[in-house]
Each structure stands twice: as C-alpha cells, then as structure tokens.
C-alpha cells in the first residue's frame, strides 16, 4: 500500500486531536470537580448519581414530614400541659370548698374563677396549629367545642374494619420508606363524652365515637362544680364527687400526654436516623461523581507530556516541501 504524505499528516492530526481531547477532558474534570458533565461521559455513573440524588430528595422530604409532625405534636403537648394546669387549679378549689367554710362573697369569687377556667378549657379545645384545629380529626377547619362545651364535629374514635368510611380519624405522616407516625390526637380522648343517669353525671367516656351536639365530659364536670358552689351545704356531696371526677380527667390527660411524648421521642430518633442516611447517601454520591483531584492532576501532567511528545514527533513526520527549497 502506498503511503502518501497526506495520509501521514492526516493520521498525525487525528492522533493530536485525540490527545488534546483527553487533555481537555481531564482539565474539565479538575475545573468542575466532577468526573462527568454529561451522561455520555459515564452512563452507568450518571444513572447511579441520578438514583442517589432521588434517594437524598426522598430522605429530606421524610425529614421535613418528621419535623412537621413533631411541631404538630409539640403544640398538642402544650395544649395538654395547659389542660393539666387548669385541672390542677380546679382540683385545688374543689378541695378547699370541700374542707373549709366560706362566705357567700368567697363562694361567688370561686364560682367566677371556675367559670373562667371552663371557658379557658373550651379555648384550649379549639387550639390551632398553622391554621388547623388539632383536636378535630380530619375536620381541621372546624372547632371542637362551642361556647356551651358541646362538640361541633363528629369524631370516629374507633376503627371499624367492616366500614372503611368509618375508619378512625387519625392522619399519619410518612417518615420513612415503610414507616409512618400517627400525628393528631382526637378531642374525645381528652375531653370525653358526658353521660347522665337520673340527672347524675356518669363515669367518663373517652373511647367511643363522638356525635355533634354531645356534651364534653370535661366541661360537664365544671358545670356540676358551678352548680355545687351555688349551695355548697346542700349539694349532696357534689363537691366531693367533683374532686374524683377532676382526678379522672387529670389521669386521662396525663395518659394522652404520655402517648404524645412517646411519639415525639420516637420522632427525634427518626430524625437522627434520617440525618445519618442523608450523610451516608451524600458520601456515596460524592464518591460516584466527584473528581479525585490528586489523581486527576497526575493524569493531567501525563497527558500534557503525551501531547507535547506528539507535537515533537509530528515535526519529524511533516517533511520540508519543494516550496521550502525554492525560498
């Protein structure tokens, strides 16, 4: 095969461009600190990076869910603490009324305070977080109690497997691939349902479904307390009964608060786990696509030497032409 000068020059230029291309690619890796800038540079690496970035995005969303759930439950816990304070004060007043004799003026003052405590309980029952009522299940746009302490919403307190439409009104936040946490506390668990028998307030009901218009047990206790204060000497031991009822409410509030606290501690652990997952996944992403600058610098110097050697060899390949001799 006849090898012409054009063939030599063509091969030389092709090889020079190949060497220059490798040099430019390594220089780009050092400048961008990334192993590849387009998927064609490393299809497998690009695919892996895409998956890792998607994983990081999901984990960060789970963390935001956990933070939102924690804030919701922190607001719920604050409300429960406030309810506990109100009940504690009411208990003090009931004990004082049961053990000591007071003037009519003192009784009026105590009655007025009990009335204000009752109103405050209704306000707590209608507590909101980010514009949503925290005790009303799915109906976060509605209040739990009206001014009389009656429920304004219906609450499904029990799961009914045979009727999916009547499932318990507790919504959940996804905080992991297969992990969720129940966030809201239904008002019936805290305020209960008042039941009467022969005009006598029965034991509290904190478990059954709530129907709109039913009286809250917690508010009914304060109503009975107010009536007892109207005639403390002839109330058929109503104040003593009030002490027991308030104690039942305090126990229930503490029980619900303990449940919320346990969920919050679990969320703290979940957030720590998610932080660890973000860190480990980010490290994998870095190993997959970040440039090893030390190694790249060595390769850059090597490619520079190869390119310079190519240029030097090319000088010997391109022989002087007839024009050079005619000068």
Spatial neighbors of 219 by CB under 8 A, at least 6 apart, are: 118, 121, 122, 145, 148, 149, 191, 194
Single out the residue of 164, 181, 160, 163 nearest to residue 172, CA to CA: 181
The pLDDT, as a whole number, for residue 191 is 95
The pLDDT, as a whole number, for residue 190 is 95
Contacts of 248-255 with C-beta under 8 Å, sequence gap 24+, read 248/203, 248/204, 249/87, 249/192, 249/204, 249/217, 249/218, 249/221, 250/84, 250/87, 250/88, 250/91, 252/189, 252/190, 252/192, 252/204, 252/206, 253/80, 253/83, 253/84, 253/87, 253/190, 254/84
63-91 pLDDT per residue, tens: 999 999 999 999 999 999 999 999 999 99
Q: Domain of 186: which CATH number?
A: 1.20.1330.10
The pLDDT, as a whole number, for residue 166 is 47
DSSP string, 227-279: HHHHSGGGSTTHHHHHHHHHHHHHHHHHHHHHHHHHHHHHHHHHHHHHHHHHH
Q: In this structure, how many other beta carbons lie within 10 angstroms of the beta carbon of residue 228?
A: 23
Single out the residue of 71, 66, 70, 76 nearest to residue 257, CA to CA: 76
22-47 pLDDT per residue, tens: 777 777 777 777 777 777 777 888 88
Bridge partners (DSSP) of residue 151 are 145
Three-class secondary structure of residue 92 per DSSP: helix
Going by their DSSP bridges, the two strands 172-176 and 200-201 should be labelled as unpaired
Low-confidence ranges of the chain (pLDDT < 70): 1-5, 8-9, 100, 159-167, 232-236, 315-327
Half-sphere exposure of 277 (CA within 13 A, CB side): 21
What is the domain count for the chain?
A: 1
- The whole-model pTM stands at 0.77
The verdict on residue 200 lying in a domain is yes
Q: Is 152:146 a contact under the CB 8 Å cutoff? A: yes
The pLDDT, as a whole number, for residue 79 is 96
Query: How far apart are alpha carbons 27 and 24 in whole angstroms?
Result: 5
DSSP-assigned letter for residue 128 = E
178 φ, ψ (degrees, to nearest 5) = -130, 35
Q: Residue 202: enclosing H or E segment and its boundaries?
A: none
- Whole-angstrom CA distances from 259 to 16, 63, 71 are 73, 21, 15
The verdict on residue 250 lying in a domain is yes
Single out the residue of 17, 18, 29 nearest to residue 299, CA to CA: 29
The verdict on residue 272 lying in a domain is yes
Q: Is 158:209 a contact under the CB 8 Å cutoff? A: yes
Per the structure, the complete domain to which residue 145 belongs is given by 51-282
- Whole-angstrom CA distances from 34 to 42, 105, 195, 288, 291 are 11, 82, 70, 9, 5
85 φ, ψ (degrees, to nearest 5) = -65, -40
The verdict on residue 14 lying in a domain is no
The verdict on residue 291 lying in a domain is no
The verdict on residue 119 lying in a domain is yes
Spatial neighbors of 162 by CB under 8 A, at least 6 apart, are: none
The verdict on residue 4 lying in a domain is no
Query: How far apart are alpha carbons 222 and 228 in whole angstroms?
Result: 10
The verdict on residue 302 lying in a domain is no
The pLDDT, as a whole number, for residue 327 is 53
């Amino acid at each position: 095969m006849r090898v012409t000068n054009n063939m030599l020059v063509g091969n030389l230029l092709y090889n020079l461009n190949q060497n220059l291309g490798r040099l430019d690619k390594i220089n780009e890796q050092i400048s961008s600190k990334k192993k590849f800038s387009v998927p064609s540079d490393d299809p497998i690496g690009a695919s892996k990076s895409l998956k890792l970035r998607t994983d990081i995005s999901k984990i960060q969303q789970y963390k935001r869910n956990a933070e939102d759930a924690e804030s919701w439950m922190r607001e719920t816990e604050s409300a429960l603490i406030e309810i506990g304070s109100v009940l504690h004060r009411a208990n003090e007043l009931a004990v004082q009324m049961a053990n000591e004799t007071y003037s009519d003026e003192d009784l009026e003052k105590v009655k007025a305070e009990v009335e204000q405590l009752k109103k405050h309980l209704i306000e707590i029952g209608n507590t909101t977080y980010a514009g949503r009522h925290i005790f009303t299940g799915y109906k976060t746009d509605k209040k739990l109690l009206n001014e009389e302490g009656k429920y304004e919403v219906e609450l499904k307190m029990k799961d009914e497997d045979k009727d999916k439409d009547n499932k318990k009104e507790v919504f959940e936040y996804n905080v992991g691939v297969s992990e969720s946490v129940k966030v809201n506390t239904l008002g019936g668990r805290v305020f209960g349902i008042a039941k009467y028998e022969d005009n006598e307030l029965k034991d509290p009901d904190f478990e059954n479904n709530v129907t709109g218009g039913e009286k809250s047990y917690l508010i009914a206790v304060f109503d009975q307390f107010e009536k007892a204060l109207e005639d403390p000497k002839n109330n058929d031991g109503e104040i003593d009964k009030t002490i027991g009822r308030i104690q039942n409410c305090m126990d229930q509030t503490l029980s619900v608060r303990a449940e919320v606290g346990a969920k919050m501690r679990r969320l703290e652990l979940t957030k720590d786990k998610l932080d660890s997952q973000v860190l480990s996944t980010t490290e994998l992403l870095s190993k997959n696509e970040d440039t090893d600058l030390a190694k790249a610098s060595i390769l850059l110097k090597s490619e520079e030497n190869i390119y310079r050697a190519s240029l030097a060899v090319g000088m010997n390949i391109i022989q002087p032409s007839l024009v050079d001799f005619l000068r």
